[in-house]
Amino acid sequence: MSQETFPSGQQGFILHRDEDLLIVAKPAGLVVHRGWADDEVVLLDLAREAVGAYVYPVHRLDRGASGALAFALHSEGARALQEVWTSGQVEKRYLALVRGNPPAAVTIDHPIPRAEDGPRVPSVTEVTTLARAGRYALVEARPLTGRLHQIRRHLKHISCPLIGDVRYGKGEHNRLFRERHDLHRLALHAWSLALPHPRTGAPIRVVAPLPPDLAGALAALGITLELEAGAVPPARVASDEADIQRAPDREG
């Protein structure tokens, strides 16, 4: 895995690069495309600067999330990657820190809008619990469809809201992690991305290392992770009773 860094001191690095495809580790706090916000700095520009070439976005991550994100390096590759995405050949795996007691494994089949205020469409996410720590849990989420805020909505649907989610989450717990653990972002990380190469069809799988801010919050709960390609990350919890500075529980 290349450790090339983004220019101008931006945090992030290139996970995969060839003549057709670029995959980067998106830092939390950046939008992907300028059309989605009025930010002066967007990930698209940083990716172009990093490789010295025009790049084409083919999917997105929420501003507050981090992790693996793919770009095509030419228009033909962009069309091919879009076909790969729409045909369901891409496997995306996310780590999410949630408030609540999720099942050991669950398939959430719950329709949500494809876009804000749009009609509800079929949406499916597989969730596996990796570790529990008091009132919190670390889960792996694998979306089988691609809807707006799908993982965040589905976690809320099973009463396990994502930490740091101001739209669908719980305010007391978000504030606790901001104040006690300096976590000012969604506790959502796209840790693994697997897809066939858009030109050759060869399998590609990349792993995006856990950012320090999210790793620190997990460590405060006693949770450590080993991220390796091709497997669910094993999680270790220092104590089953770990339950950092308890937050009020009025919201359940």
Q: Taking all residues of the chain, what is their mean pLDDT, rounded to a whole number? A: 86
Residue 33: pLDDT band by 50, 70, 90 thresholds? confident
Contact assessment for residue 233 and residue 152, using Cβ atoms and an 8 Å cutoff: no
* pTM score, whole prediction: 0.87
Q: Measure the CA–CA gap between 158 and 154, rounded to whole angstroms.
A: 7
Contact assessment for residue 112 and residue 120, using Cβ atoms and an 8 Å cutoff: yes
| pLDDT at site 115 | 73
Chain centre distance of CA 134: 23
Question: Each residue of 79-92: pLDDT tens digit?
Answer: 999 999 988 899 99
- Does 185 have pLDDT greater than 80? yes
- Does 210 have pLDDT greater than 50? yes
HSE at residue 172, side-chain half, CA atoms within 13 A, is 10
Both tokens of 133, joined, read 């720590």
Annotated catalytic residue within 18, 39, 62, 182? 62
- Does 170 have pLDDT greater than 70? yes
The DSSP secondary-structure symbol of 50 reads H
Q: Read off the pLDDT of each residue in 2-17 and give the average, rounded to a whole number.
A: 60
| pLDDT at site 233 | 75
Q: Measure the CA–CA gap between 167 and 236, rounded to whole angstroms.
A: 30
Positions of E strands within the chain: 14-17, 21-26, 56-57, 66-72, 91-99, 105-109, 112-113, 120-121, 124-133, 136-143, 188-196, 203-207, 223-225, 235-237
Q: Is the model more confident about 1 or about 168?
A: 168
HSE at residue 33, side-chain half, CA atoms within 13 A, is 12
Q: How far is CA 161 from CA 40, 170, 172, 224, in A?
A: 30, 7, 12, 21
Residue 225: pLDDT band by 50, 70, 90 thresholds? confident
Question: Each residue of 126-140: pLDDT tens digit?
Answer: 999 999 999 999 999
Q: Read off the pLDDT of each residue in 194-199 and give the average, rounded to a whole number.
A: 94
Q: Read off the pLDDT of each residue in 152-170 and give the average, rounded to a whole number.
A: 95
Give Cβ neighbours of residue 1 (< 8 Å, ≥ 6 apart).
15, 16, 206, 207
- Does 64 have pLDDT greater than 60? yes
**3-class DSSP assignment, residue 200:** coil
Q: Read off the pLDDT of each residue in 162-189 and give the average, rounded to a whole number.
A: 94
Give yes or no: 39 in active site: no
Kindly state the greatest CA–CA separation across the chain. 54
The DSSP secondary-structure symbol of 35 reads G
| pLDDT at site 146 | 86
